[in-house]
Every structure is written in C-alpha cells, then in structure tokens.
C-alpha cells in the first residue's frame, strides 16, 4: 500500500507528470465529492438489451464514457461486453447511470489515498443499495482495484461481492458448459493473433490467480475455429507495459516501450488483443505516428469474442443467437 | 444531495465564486474597457488572462470546478477575429465536446460552464454578461452543498 509514496518522495510535482493535462484524473477527483451525482449517457446501450437499476449482476463500465472526449471507438468495448453478459444472463444487467470511478488512477498515479477511500465508500454504498452480488468488469484496472485494493480497506468487500473480469466470467461459463465458441474463420489461411497482458491482469495480481492461463486456454480453443494464437516474446507476467498506467508519464520513454511492444506484436500476428481499455488506447495511439506498425489490428478481448459466443441452452426457448 | 436540501442552503446572500478566462487581445481588453468606462458588474469574478481562448484546456475548467469555483466562463474574440487566426475555433470545438461528454456526464449543471465571445470594444456587454452570469449562478446555488 505504500508504493505510491515513491513518486511523492521523488519530490516531483505529480501533477506535472499526468498525461492529457490531468483531465481524467481531475474527473476522478470531482467524482469523489459527495455532492456529485454523475448522469452518464446510456445512449450506447442497444435497445434490445434489458438493463436495470437493481439486480444481482452488475456490469461496471468504468470511465469509458468519459474517454469518448478524446478517443474514438472506445464505446465498443462497453458495448460488446454488455452484449456478452446479456447473452449469458437471463436477468437484466445492472448498469448505473451514476456510476463513479473505482479510484485506481488517483491511488496509483498521484497517491491521493483520501480520494481513493472516498470513492471506495461511495462505490460500496451504491453496490449495496442496488443489491449487487456479482460485479463484472472489462477493465483490468477496475478488476485489480476491486479484487485486491478494496478488500484491503474494507475487509468484508470480497465476501459481499464477487468480482469477475470478463475473461474470468467467459471462462467460467465455458467450463460450466453454458456457452461454446462458434464462428469459423472462413478464409483459407488461418488468422494469427496475439495477446497483450495488461499489467493489472498479470503481474499485479496475487500469485495464485489463473487469469493468464485461463486466457490461453480459451485461445487454444480458437484454434479449431481457424484462429491461431501466438505468444509474443514477452508474455504473461513478464509482458511489456503499455507505458501509461493511471494516465501518468506519457513521454518518449513510454512511447519507446510501446513501440517495442508493437514490434513484438507485429511478428506474432495480425491481430493484437488486450483486455484493458487504456492499453488499447495507448497502443493504438502510437499507430498514428508510425506507419510500420499501423497494420496491426488492436482490439479488446470482448470485442473479439462477442461474435464467437453461443449460449447452449437446455430449454431452447431462451436461446440467443448472433 | 437532494434538490430540497439544495434549496434550503440557497440563501439570499450566497456569493458565488466565478472564474473567467479572458483572451489577451479581445476579452481582456473588453473587461478593461468595462473598468475604464466605469460600468458596474458584480465583484464575484476572478479574471485569468490567457493569450488566446485556444489555450484553455478542459482540465483548467475541471480543476477550477474541483477547487471550488461555482461557475466558469471562457471568453475570447469573436469567430474570425482571433489574433492567432483559428484559436477560438479550436476553443469552440473543444468546449462543445467538453460540455457534452465531461460536464454533463459528471452531473454538473451545464449552465455553470459557459463560452462567450467578447470583443475589445464590448465593455458594456462584458459588464452585462458578468451580471447575468452571476445572477444565473446565484439562482443555481453553490456547487458544493
Ligand atoms: S486571441 Fe482572442 S481568441 Fe484567440
């Protein structure tokens, strides 16, 4: 819990190091105030998906709606995740209009612990009010925060709520035999793809986590569908970072790191998957500057999977097909 | 906080803190003219002079709101008059996006953040604008309550 102090003890003004001039971290800070009740647009939710304010399964979107301010096509992560969950769940999914940030960025980036705690309290109150029991998220950072950092502050958090990343969720459903993967790749030669492990889903989780291996297991299954999975040179807990976690330090060094990562991806396949919205933003940002890496298609795990999931249902009537 | 509670706290003598960003070439000169010509306007504003309205990043506005401003006004030269040719066009574009995506989704009343063009000769208009803006924010009550 004291890691954030390193930045402070380096006697640097943390505010100077924030990328995008601190727009997103300031938003987080504003959201921690008790008098702020966000009113997020749910325009991106398709009409045929039922959402509710109360229920047991929550899709925690994270800050994606705010990212629309500068980045295009980020909504698609939220959309495809919601589609996946709603295909599997029978009940309407809970989506909060007044959802706030999980606090990851102020905790890791600037070390503003008080704000982090405020946010955590506000979040927990909201979850309790809506009667949530399972939280599903598609954001690696939200996942790690809920899984590891909140229980450190509030001991009963992990008893009250079950936190699942969409990868974990899909994996479990698949193992339970509730879903199968469909959608064969029709072209002659197989499509090769690779996976960028976000820090928060690999080395930043407790050692006994199985997410990296689960991900690989799902990808192995895709071999049957004509998609071959290749590892990059650095992978799993050893993977290279996208360089800008918590919106900190977007500079030439982190760009160099990203470029290196993109070269690795290029030699591994034509599609690069990741499961953190920020990794996607940062890696694709570099593609505008460098032509040699612009051919790689970067997409989110859920974006890739959404058209490949079919629900196996014993009583056929609620079968959803896509 | 609920609407009723907000109203209770909205006392008559609430004095809002307003932040005004003025571009050096038009709006600041306009504000200056208002002063020199002795047009009266409420003393609730603090003016920050920037070289051009294109300098104003949404993070400035957000930080102001975070640190206790009840309203923020961005002002620059009229479209076409910017001394850096297209600075105010960028400002406009950025402002609209910020309004829609950041301010509105945060649940902050949109009227708290405004963009207005004031030229160097519009001293009178500047005074009127500030009066109107102050009254509007007084109506809305403090952001923090
Ligand atoms: S100089 Fe006034 S807006 Fe650009």
- Provide, as residue numbers in chain B, all residues whose Cβ is less than 8 Å from the Cβ of A65: 101, 105
Taking 60 as the threshold, does the pLDDT of residue B34 lie above it?
A: yes
Q: Is A22's CB within 8 Å of B63's CB?
A: yes
What is the per-residue pLDDT for B31? Answer: 95
Give distance in angstroms: CA of B98 to centre of ligand 1: 19
Please tell me the pTM assigned to this model. 0.88
Answer yes or no: are the C-beta atoms of A106 and A28 closer than 8 Å.
yes
Give distance in angstroms: CA of B71 to centre of ligand 1: 21
pLDDT band, very low/low/confident/very high, at B11 (cuts 50, 70, 90): low
CA-closest candidate to residue A110, choices A15, A30, A226: A15
Rounded to whole angstroms, how far apart are CA atoms A45 and B129?
39
pLDDT band, very low/low/confident/very high, at B47 (cuts 50, 70, 90): very high
Q: Is B106's CB within 8 Å of A27's CB?
A: yes
Domain definitions of chain A by residue range? 2-175, 180-309
What is the per-residue pLDDT for A7? Answer: 63
- Provide, as residue numbers in chain A, all residues whose Cβ is less than 8 Å from the Cβ of B143: 35
Q: Which among B49, B55, B84, B86 is the best mutation to test ligand 1's pocket, defined by most ligand atoms within 8 Å of the CB? A: B84
Q: Is A21's CB within 8 Å of B1's CB?
A: no
* pLDDT > 90: percent of chain B: 85
From the list B62, B106, B143, the residue facing A38 with the nearest CB is B106
Q: Is A26's CB within 8 Å of B63's CB?
A: yes
What is the per-residue pLDDT for A4? Answer: 59
Q: Is B48 on the interface with A (CB under 8 A)?
A: no
- Of all residues in chain A, the one with the smallest CA distance to B1 is A35
pLDDT band, very low/low/confident/very high, at B1 (cuts 50, 70, 90): very low
Q: Please, which residues have CB within 8 angstroms of residue A43's CB and are 6 or more apart in sequence? A: none
Q: How far away is chain A from the Cα of B46, in angstroms, using its nearest Cα?
A: 21
The tens place of each residue's pLDDT in chain A, 322 residues long, gives: 455 566 667 666 777 778 888 899 999 999 999 999 999 988 889 999 999 989 999 999 999 999 988 888 888 999 999 999 999 998 899 999 999 999 999 888 888 889 999 999 999 999 999 999 999 999 999 999 999 999 999 999 999 999 999 999 999 999 999 998 988 887 777 889 999 999 999 989 998 888 999 999 999 998 888 899 999 999 888 999 888 888 888 888 899 999 999 999 999 999 999 999 999 999 988 998 889 998 999 999 999 999 899 998 765 544 444 4
What is the per-residue pLDDT for B9? Answer: 55
What is the per-residue pLDDT for A207? Answer: 86
Tell me which fold the domain A180-309 belongs to.
Answer: Rossmann fold (3.40.50)
- CATH number (3.30.1390, 1.10.8, 3.40.720, 3.40.50) of B3-140 reads 3.40.50
Rounded to whole angstroms, how far apart are CA atoms A248 and A4?
12
Q: Is B57's CB within 8 Å of A21's CB?
A: yes
Q: Is A97 on the interface with B (CB under 8 A)?
A: no
Work out the angle at residue A299's Cα, subtended by the Cα atoms of residues A25 and A179, and round it to the nearest 5 degrees.
110
- B25 Cβ closer than 6 Å to some ligand 1 atom: yes
In whole angstroms, how far apart are CA A44 and each of A48, A60, A90, A135? 12, 14, 20, 20
- Provide, as residue numbers in chain A, all residues whose Cβ is less than 8 Å from the Cβ of B108: 30, 36
Q: Is B140 on the interface with A (CB under 8 A)?
A: no
Q: Please, which residues have CB within 8 angstroms of residue A179's CB and are 6 or more apart in sequence? A: A87, A88, A170, A173, A309, A310, A311, A312
Rounded to whole angstroms, how far apart are CA atoms A7 and A16?
12
Closest ligand 1 atom to the C-alpha of B84? 4
Which chain B residues in 58-87 lie under 8 Å from chain A, judged by CB atoms? 58-59, 62-63, 65-66
- Residues B55-101: tens digit of each pLDDT: 999 999 999 999 989 999 999 999 999 999 999 999 999 999 999 88
Q: Is A23's CB within 8 Å of B106's CB?
A: no
Taking 90 as the threshold, does the pLDDT of residue B54 lie above it?
A: yes
What is the per-residue pLDDT for A5? Answer: 64
Domain definitions of chain B by residue range? 3-140
What is the per-residue pLDDT for A321? Answer: 45
Closest ligand 1 atom to the C-alpha of B54? 4
- Of all residues in chain A, the one with the smallest CA distance to B110 is A39
Taking 90 as the threshold, does the pLDDT of residue B131 lie above it?
A: yes
Query: B46 - beta bridge partners?
Result: B19
- Residues B16-33: tens digit of each pLDDT: 999 999 999 999 999 999
Greatest Cα-to-Cα distance within chain A, rounded to the nearest angstrom: 63
Q: Which among B49, B86, B88 is the best mutation to test ligand 1's pocket, defined by most ligand atoms within 8 Å of the CB? A: B88
- Reported ipTM: 0.86
- B77 Cβ closer than 6 Å to some ligand 1 atom: yes
- Of all residues in chain A, the one with the smallest CA distance to B61 is A23
């Amino acid at each position: 819990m004291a890691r954030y102090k390193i930045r402070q003890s380096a006697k640097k003004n943390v505010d100077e190091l924030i990328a995008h001039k601190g727009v997103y971290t300031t938003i987080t800070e504003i959201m921690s105030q008790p008098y702020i009740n966000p009113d997020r647009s749910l325009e991106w939710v398709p009409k045929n998906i039922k959402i509710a304010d109360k229920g047991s399964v929550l899709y925690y979107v994270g800050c994606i709606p705010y990212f629309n301010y500068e980045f295009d096509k980020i909504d698609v992560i939220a959309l495809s995740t919601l589609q996946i969950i709603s295909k599997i769940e029978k009940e309407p999914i809970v989506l909060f209009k007044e959802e706030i940030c999980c606090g990851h960025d102020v905790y890791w980036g600037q070390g503003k612990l008080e704000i982090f705690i405020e946010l955590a309290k506000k979040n927990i109150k909201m979850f309790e009010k809506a009667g949530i029991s399972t939280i599903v998220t598609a954001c690696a950072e939200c996942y790690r925060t809920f899984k590891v950092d909140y229980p450190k502050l509030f001991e009963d958090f992990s008893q009250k709520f079950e936190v699942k990343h969409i990868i974990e969720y899909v994996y479990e459903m698949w193992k339970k035999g509730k879903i199968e993967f469909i959608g064969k790749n029709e072209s002659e030669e197989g499509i090769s793809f690779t996976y960028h492990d976000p820090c928060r889903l690999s080395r930043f989780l407790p050692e006994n986590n199985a997410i990296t291996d689960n991900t690989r297991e799902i990808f192995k299954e895709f071999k049957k569908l004509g998609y071959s999975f290749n590892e990059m040179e650095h992978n799993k807990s050893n993977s290279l970072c996208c360089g800008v976690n918590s919106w900190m330090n977007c500079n030439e060094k982190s760009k160099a790191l990203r470029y290196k990562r993109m070269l690795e991806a290029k030699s591994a396949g034509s599609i690069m998957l990741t499961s953190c919205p920020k990794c996607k933003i940062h890696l694709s940002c570099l593609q505008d500057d460098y032509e040699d890496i612009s051919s790689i298609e970067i997409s989110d795990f859920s974006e890739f999977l959404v058209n490949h999931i079919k629900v196996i249902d014993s009583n056929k009537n609620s079968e959803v097909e896509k | 906080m609920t609407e009723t509670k907000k109203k209770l706290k909205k006392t008559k003598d609430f004095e809002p803190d307003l932040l005004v960003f003025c571009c050096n070439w038009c709006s600041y000169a306009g504000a200056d003219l208002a002063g020199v010509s002795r047009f009266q306007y409420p003393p609730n504003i603090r003016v920050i002079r920037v070289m051009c309205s294109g300098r104003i990043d949404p993070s400035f506005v957000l930080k102001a709101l975070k640190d206790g401003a009840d309203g923020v006004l961005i002002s620059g030269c009229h479209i076409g008059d910017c001394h850096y040719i297209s600075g105010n066009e960028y400002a406009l574009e950025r402002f609209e996006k910020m309004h829609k995506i950041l301010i509105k989704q945060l649940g902050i009343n949109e009227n708290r953040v405004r963009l207005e063009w004031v030229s160097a000769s519009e001293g009178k208009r500047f005074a009127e604008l500030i009066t109107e803006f102050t009254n509007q924010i007084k109506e809305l009550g403090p952001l923090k309550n």
